A = this chain, B = another copy of it.
Amino acid sequence: MTAMTTGSTSRADANRRRILDVALTELLRDPDASMDQIARAAGVVRRTVYGHFPSREALISTLVDEAVQALADADAHARAGVSDPAESVARSVLALWPVADRYRLLIALAQRTVTVQGIRDRLAPLRENKVRLLQRGLDEGVFASPLPAPALAYVHEQMLFAVMEAVNDGLLAAQEAGRSATVAVLTAAGVPASRATELVAGVS
């Protein structure tokens, strides 16, 4: 019965997984990291990487797919059945935080220019969700900003990157980062600081 290589996903799949993981951190350090750099960092020869992925494009593309998937899942799950826009944003940011941190390279690539075509497109649905949420909050008077909802969405994204950078540079404890980022984002949306802190405390 086709042995199915026991439960162990064989070392092939393990390698593939490791290559993806290493590629993530390696590309974060240098978005132009070569296949050789990635391979070496994964403890493998360049040729082996090509055994798993036909091209550099394909490798990064796989990474993008995983990232989008993880982000979409986290966001959808966090906002399920929450009606208040402020609470929704709070839950969303808190849930997205660790995932976005893991994949922040790709999101950074997404907003940069000529990398893999279509990163932006693949993130578009997620972004649109956020815009709708922000718009609703603005309409209901829960949020306040001189910026239109789509611009505010950009701002929120960038703020998350900023806080991640801060953590990275040791300016902020990783423990507090998620909550701090959430409060910061809410504040930027015009939610009074007191209400923002309260919300985050209540949600987490």
- Stoichiometry (number of copies): 2
Q: Mark A17-37, 1 if CB is under 8 A from B, else 0.
A: 000000000000111100000
* Max chain B Cβ within 10 angstroms of own Cβ: one of A148, A183, A187, A197: A187
Interface-lining segment among A39-47, A93-101, A159-167: A159-167
Q: Place the interface of chain A in its size category.
A: 35 or more
Across the interface, A190 reaches (CB within 8 A) one of B111, B112, B154, B193, namely: B193
Across the interface, A187 reaches (CB within 8 A) one of B31, B32, B165, B187, namely: B187
Residues of A65-114 whose CB lies within 8 A of B: 108, 111-114
Compute how far the CA of A163 lies from the CA of B150 in the bound complex, rounded to whole angstroms.
10
Q: Mark A140-164, 1 if CB is under 8 A from B, else 0.
A: 0000111110110011011101110
Tell me if A130 is interfacial: C-beta within 8 Å of chain B. no
Shortest C-beta distance, A28 to chain B (Å), equals 8
